[in-house]
């Protein structure tokens, strides 16, 4: 879809309700009244007291009615979690979120204790759109009694484990979230979605699909996946089996670097016998974390990107890869220094090979291990490596979740980059306009490289909720970029003050020259 974003802001403005707005929504929402009504607390005492779980059944104990929702979220990773947290300040809207796991865990199989969050902690579940929301990261620090020590510890960037605990803290207090509720299939009957779980059926007018991405496995490795050919998402559970083995890590992004570094840093008795690190890129490339590139992760750029022609978006995505898929500078420096120590100081050095510029072309069993066929990207020479275990740090891609199979023929064809989403993250589908299906983490091709990133989680969630309630309940508009992007702003709009643009055009007499 190539829809033009409204200049100066993507959030809907007050006016007639768009299709899909549940009954009972009538016009702009009084935010003060809502704020006071959450948990029956005022803004002041909400700040002073620890958030408490709310009563789960909001319909006087009638379980059937309590299962009919305006918005039902499937999956409770960070993205739907953000929607669930922000929805607590829109109490007129009946939302509910289902998660298959017994509790909230953020990438549990690949969360290294030593790895850091790759975004600012301000990019938490709520703060970029509603910093007063009780589910902010700072509120988590206060309520878990660590804010003073956090403030005195050089914690930038924040370790990933800390954000995992923050997510679990938030999820554990949501009255609109249920765990151990794996969704098996979704049907659309007359005017609502019927969402099936082992425990029962939930009905909703709109869906928010946040079931995450699936491992991207190179074609030549697909038939070999098992205990000795595994995706990076299964690494932690498998690492003890790699002690004393020859291990290849395929992939030169952050995950590949974290796994290589983790294996390198293990105590000598628990290391592999050797590690071979392979990437198709011509070097182990650094993430472009520079100031203006970071504006690709601002709402303005997302709006600009969305209105471009599909071919152009495709081209930009491939050129912007290192803005999201490169390796952090700190990790690269750590690895480089560690290899120096390994080679010149370590009494018990590990054997390693670094193979940039090599594409994995084929794989075949060799004894109890694997022969990896490599093609050098510059010279065209063929090479190989024989290893016991292969870790595929080859990223993630979109696939339509199995539970949506009953609706597949009413949806556009998915690609590994997602679905052709509308500006408000809903998908055009062969069903009533008043019933929308929002997709989170399925818009790389429609909304750009920010889509799988945590940066805009709260902005996207707010944009979706605004679209559902039909008002600018959350402030999602206003200029957010230093750069000018065609179709969005005029040259005179430089910054937003209270939702209005400040015109800082320099008066003629003040101009230089
Ligand atoms: C190791 C790792 C580290 C990352 N670190 C960063 C970072 O530092 N900064 C950054 O910007 N991005 C990071 N990312 C990228 C991105 O932020 C994360 O992948 C993020 O978790 C995506 O959130 P999500 O909600 O889309 O999916 P997920 O986190 O994958 O969550 C999806 C949820 O849906 C549930 N689910 C699936 N199917 C069903 C079903 N049928 N019924 C019910 N529930 C279901 C799953 O159990 C899961 O809990 C990282 C990614 C990885 C893999």
Confidence of residue 146 (pLDDT cuts 50, 70, 90): very high
Query: Which of the listed residues 72, 74, 75 should we mutate to test ligand 1's pocket, taking the one with most ligand atoms within 8 A of CB?
Result: 75
Q: What is the pLDDT of residues 444-466, one digit of tens each?
A: 999 999 999 999 999 999 999 99
pLDDT at residue 499 greater than cutoff 60: no
Query: Which of the listed residues 167, 201, 452 should we mutate to test ligand 1's pocket, taking the one with most ligand atoms within 8 A of CB?
Result: 452
CA gap 26, 472 in Å, rounded: 13
- Calculate what percentage of the chain has a pLDDT beyond 90: 77
Answer whether 334 contacts ligand 1 (Cβ < 6 A). no
pLDDT at residue 39 greater than cutoff 80: no
The pLDDT value recorded for residue 46 is 28
Q: Which atom of ligand 1 is nearest to the CA of 79?
A: 25
Q: Whose CA is nearest to atom 7 of ligand 1?
A: 118
The pLDDT value recorded for residue 496 is 45
| 379 CA → ligand 1 middle, Å | 38
Q: What is the pLDDT of residues 117-127, one digit of tens each?
A: 999 999 999 99
pLDDT at residue 51 greater than cutoff 70: no
CA gap 77, 233 in Å, rounded: 15
**What residues form DSSP beta bridges with 193?**
188, 204
The pLDDT value recorded for residue 491 is 53
pLDDT at residue 320 greater than cutoff 80: yes
418: exposed, middle or buried (Cβ count in 10 Å: 0-12, 13-18, 19+)? buried
Task: Look at 499 and 181; give whichever has higher pLDDT.
Answer: 181
Q: Whose CA is nearest to atom 35 of ligand 1?
A: 75
Give the number of C-alpha atoms closer than 13 A to the C-alpha of residue 252, restricted to the C-beta side: 19
Question: Please, what is the average pLDDT of the chain?
Answer: 84
Taking residues 52-59, report their average pLDDT: 36
Answer whether 422 contacts ligand 1 (Cβ < 6 A). no
| 106 CA → ligand 1 middle, Å | 6
Q: Which atom of ligand 1 is nearest to the CA of 81?
A: 25
For residue 173, what are its two tokens?
């207090």
Q: What is the pLDDT of residues 364-390, one digit of tens each?
A: 999 999 999 999 999 999 999 999 999
CA gap 230, 339 in Å, rounded: 25
Answer whether 440 contacts ligand 1 (Cβ < 6 A). yes
| 452 CA → ligand 1 middle, Å | 9
pLDDT at residue 35 greater than cutoff 50: no
Domain boundaries, the chain: 31-50+60-213+400-469, 215-287+326-396
Task: Look at 306 and 62; give whichever has higher pLDDT.
Answer: 306
Cα–Cα distances (Å) from 461 to 26, 314, 376, 446, in that order, read 21, 24, 43, 16
Answer whether 441 contacts ligand 1 (Cβ < 6 A). yes
**What region, left, alpha or beta, does residue 470 occupy, with left being phi > 0 and alpha being psi -120 to 50 degrees?**
left
pLDDT at residue 50 greater than cutoff 50: no
CA gap 419, 428 in Å, rounded: 9
Which of 15-19, 42-46, 91-95 reaches the highest mean pLDDT?
Answer: 91-95
Instruction: Tell me if 31-50+60-213+400-469 shares its fold with 215-287+326-396.
Output: yes
The pLDDT value recorded for residue 343 is 97
- Calculate what percentage of the chain has a pLDDT beyond 70: 82
The pLDDT value recorded for residue 84 is 98
CATH architecture of 215-287+326-396: 3-Layer(bba) Sandwich (3.50)
Answer whether 211 contacts ligand 1 (Cβ < 6 A). yes
Q: For the structural domain made of 31-50+60-213+400-469, what CATH number should be given? A: 3.50.50.60
């Amino acid at each position: 879809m190539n829809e033009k974003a409204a200049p100066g802001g993507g959030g809907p403005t007050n006016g007639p309700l768009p299709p899909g707005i549940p009954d009972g929504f009538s016009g702009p929402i009084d935010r003060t009244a809502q704020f006071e009504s959450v948990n029956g607390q005022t803004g002041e005492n909400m700040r002073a007291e620890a958030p408490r779980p709310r009563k789960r059944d909001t319909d006087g104990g009638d379980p059937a009615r309590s299962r009919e929702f305006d918005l039902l979220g499937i999956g409770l990773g960070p993205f739907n979690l953000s929607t669930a947290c922000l929805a607590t300040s829109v109490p007129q809207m009946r939302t509910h979120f289902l998660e298959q796991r017994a509790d909230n865990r953020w990438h549990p199989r690949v969360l290294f204790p030593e790895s850091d969050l790759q975004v600012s902690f301000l990019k938490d579940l709520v703060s970029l759109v509603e910093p007063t929301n009780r589910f902010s990261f700072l509120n988590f620090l206060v309520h878990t009694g660590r804010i003073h020590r956090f403030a005195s510890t050089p914690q930038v960037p924040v370790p990933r484990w800390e954000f995992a605990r923050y997510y679990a803290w938030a999820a554990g207090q949501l009255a609109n979230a249920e765990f151990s509720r794996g969704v098996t299939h979704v049907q659309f009957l007359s005017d609502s979605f019927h969402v099936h779980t082992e425990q029962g059926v939930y009905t909703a007018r709109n869906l928010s699909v946040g079931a995450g991405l699936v491992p991207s496995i190179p074609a030549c490795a697909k038939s070999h996946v098992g205990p000795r050919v595994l995706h990076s998402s299964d690494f932690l559970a498998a690492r003890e089996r790699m002690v004393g083995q020859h291990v290849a890590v395929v992939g030169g992004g952050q995950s590949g670097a974290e796994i290589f570094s983790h294996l390198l840093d293990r105590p000598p008795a628990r290391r592999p016998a050797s590690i071979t690190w392979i990437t198709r890129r011509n070097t182990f490339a650094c993430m472009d974390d520079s100031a203006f590139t970071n504006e690709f992760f601002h709402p303005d750029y997302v709006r600009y990107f969305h209105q471009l022609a599909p071919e152009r978006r495709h081209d930009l995505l491939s050129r912007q890869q290192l803005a999201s898929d490169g390796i952090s500078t700190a990790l690269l420096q750590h690895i480089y220094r560690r290899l120096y120590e390994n080679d010149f100081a370590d009494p018990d050095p590990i054997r390693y090979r670094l193979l940039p510029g090599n594409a994995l072309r084929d794989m075949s069993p060799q004894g109890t291990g694997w022969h990896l066929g490599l093609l050098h990207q510059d010279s065209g020479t063929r090479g190989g490596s024989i290893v016991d275990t292969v870790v595929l740090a080859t990223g993630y891609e979109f696939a339509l979740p199995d539970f949506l199979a009953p609706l597949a023929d009413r949806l556009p064809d998915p690609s590994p980059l997602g679905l052709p989403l509308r500006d408000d993250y809903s998908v055009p589908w062969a069903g009533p306009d008043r019933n929308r299906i929002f997709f989170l983490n399925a818009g790389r091709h429609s909304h750009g490289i920010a889509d799988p990133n945590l940066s805009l989680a709260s902005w996207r969630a707010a944009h979706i909720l605004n679209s559902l309630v039909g008002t600018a309940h959350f402030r999602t508009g206003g200029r957010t970029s230093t750069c000018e992007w065609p179709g969005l702003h005029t040259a005179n709009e430089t910054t937003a003050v209270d939702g209005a643009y400040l015109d800082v055009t320099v008066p003629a007499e003040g101009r230089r020259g």
